[in-house]
Structure 1
Amino acid sequence: METVQDNSIPFHVLTIDECLRALDASRHGLVTPEAIRRLVAVGPNELEEPERISPWVLLAAQFRNVLIVILLIAVVLSAALGHGIEAIIIGVIVVFAALLGFVQEYRAERAIEALREMAAPAARVLRDGDESIIPAREVVPGDIVLLQVGDRIPADLRIVEAVNLQADEAPLTGESVPVEKHADPIANPDIAVADRRDMAYSGTVITYGRGRGVAVATGMRTEFGKIAGMLQTVEVGRTPLQENLDRVGRVLAVIALVVVGLIVALGVLRGQDILEMFLFGIALAVAVVPEALPAVVTISLAMGVQRIVKRNALVRRLPAVETLGSTSVICSDKTGTLTRNEMTVREVFASGVSAMLLGSGYEPMGEVTVNGIAVEVPDPVIDLLRAAALASDATLIRDTEGHWTIRGDPTEGALIVAAAKVGLEKSDLEIQYPRTAEIPFSSERKRMTTLHKTPGGTTACSKGAAEVILDACTTVLEDGSIIPLDKTERGEIIARAETMAGEGIRVLGVANKSDTDLATAEESMTFLGLVGLLDPSRPEVAASIAACHNAGIKVVMITGDHPVTATAIARELGISSNGRVMTGRELEQM
């Protein structure tokens, strides 16, 4: 049974048949008795819940402090000496400091369980040769999992069948653009997880196409599970403030003992009663202890925590606030942290004019500018975005809280949003120009073409890789007229596409063809222009990075993006001025 789930096997290197043999599985899936046996052997397909810390343990941890211990001893001694008021005051201060720290840490401990929410609630698999829907926790190595648009992948899979299959792997790798998947083995056994195109990973989402995969890892052995495991094994160290407070406590304890010893010795030498001198020495020792210090420290840290919480950040341990003041380097993820993780059309190049679309994210609002000046939307831009929207399957939706989001491929979603910004609603376009046929996107063709019924006949709209679309065109739309696409025009378009790509922008080409049919739709098309897309940075990030630099803190961006894209974002945010980029392979070789 150990070989059923063996993380040492590089499944992305093996052929499909080799994978199935290694897993003792078949293309028809598992039979139910075998699936049950494997579930018992390897356990449920879910992330192990970290051992919950008991509230009593958290409360006891607040007293694991030398200074607090000394104060507790002071409470006992003050009470024993008959100083009830002093004992009560010191006791209240100690309890207040402990409870304040306990409340903050208890709330934080209950909040840190976000990784578990990444698990898929159900999965479609082949069991006994038939399609079945089972709880995701029951998926086992060797199961054949069926994939379609919108599915959250329940386990790490080796792709067995892929039809235009794409997955959004941003939660795992930070890549904001959907990744194309295929079933062909990859020769390099050491290739990065983000580049294993024949694998699909637990917690990621299918955005396009359909396919099948055989489960090779479940639960804590998935890539997500490895991350969860590393988080659970992080050692909790002591902060400089905790070390210093303990040092102060130890010094005060030594001073107190010395004071008691000296007072008792001197008193005895002068003929005083030893018990009387001992009690007097203890009273002086108690007076040495700064009773309010723990409370002052705890209140100061709690105030810092509250300020951080108002900025939507969570502090798990109260003393960690103090270490923020000692930070010298901040390493930050890019996608979803520095950027919005919402693909957005930034630039449209049509009829020789470069127009910028303002606004970011999926909210369909934003002006169109040319050379930094707001203008009426040029007709070539409208023609281009209309064709791009018609050749897309994504939809723009608004949730119950008023937030805009997209259903489907993020790139197509960006095109739909851009069209909506210039007044072209996808639902209206579908009614006005109903789709009659389509040639779906594939990784080999690198484009998608749809045919629509229009008043002038059947019109084809195509979008895809700029060079592929350009090669299919013989004419270009220029100032409202269709003219031959000569070498000069073609060269200008290629140069513009290369300039946009050099700025870290993803470039698509858009074309159409009037009065056509499915057989000839992608021949002799009319080039409409280029669309530049990117994942925009969050508006507050640049100022935050500048504040870090002013404070002497170095900011490092970590991302799974292509180095060109990463460099462009880093320069835009002020992270990098020299353009230095280090890949993961280079880092490993250091």
Structure 2
Amino acid sequence: IGDFFSFSAALLWVPWLVYRIVITCRFLILLSYSSSTHLVKIHNQPFLFSPGTVIGVVIYTGKETRSVMNTSNPKNKVGLLDLELNQLTKALFLALVALSIVMVTLQGFVGPWYRNLFRFLLLFSYIIPISLRVNLDMGKAAYGWMIMKDDNIPGTVVRTSTIPEELGRLVYLLTDKTGTLTQNEMIFKRLHLGTVSYGTDTMDEIQNHIISSYSQQAPFQSPKVRKTVSSRIHEAVKAIALCHNVTPVYESHAGVNGETEYAEVDQNFSDENRTYQASSPDEVALVQWTESVGLTLVNRDLTSMQLKSPGGQILTYYILQVFPFTSESKRMGIIVRDESTGEITFYMKGADVAMSTIVQYNDWLEEECGNMAREGLRTLVVAKKSLTEEQHQDFENRYNQAKLSIHDRALKVAAVVESLEREMELLCLTGVEDQLQADVRPTLEMLRNAGIKIWMLTGDKLETATCIAKSSHLVSRTQDIHIFRPVISRGEAHLELNAFRRKHDCALVISGDSLEVCLKYYEHEFVELACQCPAVVCCRCSPTQKAHIVKLLQHHTGKRTCAIGDGGNDVSMIQAADCGIGIEGKEGKQASLAADFSITQFKHIGRLLMVHGRNSYKRSAALGQFVMHRGLIISTMQAVFSSVFYFASIPLYQGFLMVGYATIYTMFPVFSLVLDQDVKPEMALLYPELYKDLTKGRSLSFKTFLIWVLISIYQGGILMYGALLLFESEFVHVVAISFTALILTELLMVALTIRTWHWLMVVAEFFSLGCYVASLAFLNEYFDVAFITTVTFLWKVSAITVVSCLPLYILKYLKRKFSPPSYSKLTS
């Protein structure tokens, strides 16, 4: 095979079959080989091929796929808590260096002082919490496991182990609409014919008209009015049943191997095993509706489609040309020939903005489109044009000529099609509803009460987006909505921004085009105004625009953002946000696989943030600060010990004692803090206002860090001075008393930090204490076994431990009594 990016061909010789492969940068077609040649057009380029069966076609592969073109390079996400801990670790490093320099200075720079400096750096190295990273990463893995095991949010998958705490720090939530807030399950709701409108409760009238129009042999005998309405309904329903890209698929009984076999053609056309497949759920909804009123699509192939009338008669239509839907044209068309009459008809349907200039003049289309959009319905305008044989032949000639032209092919083809799209007869306006997901309203209400600002970014039209924002309670009923007028110049943007500035506490609705203009000229001003809004709706947004909005919020506010979506067009937004959540929906798993967290329903986000986000952040903050405290307290004791003994750079504890202190003696109780919780899940969901405190970052700040540093200095000083005051003749007793008191103090401090006890925490406390007591028998080189079994040892250790811990217990009690945190008021 030759160069992939040029048109080349090669023969692959296989003993029983020869294939010819043709490759283009977008197509790979596999044909069985024969001796004669045939002209085939690939990507509108003519090529000579051997005729035969096409074995496979690969279209839009690699970087040409829509999903890849809409996806930006993912960034490495680092949690805000990790960044804060990094800052504190830097402060601890400076403290280590400063303390070592102070010790050498007080020593008087005697002898090789630089050697002593390095000794002190090693002695006080416990100030740097080496085990912090290990403890936090293990904690994050535990949080992820807890999230996935939560029965209240089944199917949730944690795809990252680095940022579970981010769920508790979010200020902005950017959400997609279709498939995220809504179910992406379309239901046909409204048919409007201009003079008459049919809703869900009057569909039986349409069915009666369809049955009568196909049963009457002589329709001219009917009364004139009846005939007019019937024929119009018949034409509209027939147009909807023919103008689409839906294929009926028939599921037959299980095959020999137990596998289900699919066949597109089943001569029985039985309703039980027929399903519809299409590129859009809107299309399927329309065809299912025509089936419900009596006109059923039973078969479709490349050249024809067959409909079944209410009486069971099969009507065949030959497909002469199909013009597929594109995001630029916003419409699709099809030319069909009726087998029975030979009539050629051009049907077209599309968005009202595209169709309003194509159809004949009318005075109701624009108004009714607005009315349906306000009801939250997705609208499509359906039109037709009857063609004579001559008109069709003339079009075919010009269309084929345009497709063969070498220069400006796309423009010429579009021009030929547009020549047909003139003065079309307006048949009807359809309204399809995309129903809201379960519990979307209470979930959005909860998020808003939690202080999270919600932005809805959608590709839908302005009216539909506004209606969904209201019906989902994204915008509360008491709030005003400011619809940002379309702007195309700097002056218009300036005037509109000034008008918006005068509004207070109102939701903003803006289109993608206007947003682009505002960001081009007044980026800072626009973001500043938009961030003050309780809710923002951006409609007609492209995937790259969604990601751009996320980055703008991060840059201008410095707050944590979360993006949630369900489709390939949301991937870049999810990857750009500090925390990405994907929903496994009807649009596939692209968003789910690209996200940090994957959920099955939008309502699960409430528990994910209020409960798991809260717990992850609070636990990590407590765990991180306690690990720092554990290093600071032993470094303080070392500093006191060195100071007493004339600033000698001699270690206080050696060998196994230092290893055991950081591992088996204190590791399990400290790590058990990942099971702690300050508020019960039910309470966190009932009072989402508690979430606001988390976004202020008060659980881990320089203030809380300073408190822990002071606690460490106080306890380290008490433990060391107490042991030195109470030690008798031998130095070994200082080590025994101070180290035992240190272990007991750490276990009691864990108990002081815990807010809700778990049985595993109790086990960890007693297990660690048991390990220490058991290990005393083997630590002969450090401890005098005869001394540590005496009453003297026990009372001295108890006295030192009580003095180091009791004041902190009293302070905690007084604080809880006179200045309780907000959550304790609720739990009491």
TM-score range, shorter chain: 0.3 to 0.5
Q: TM-score w.r.t. structure 1 length?
A: 0.44
TM-score w.r.t. the length of structure 2 is 0.33
Structure possessing the higher radius of gyration over alpha carbons = 2
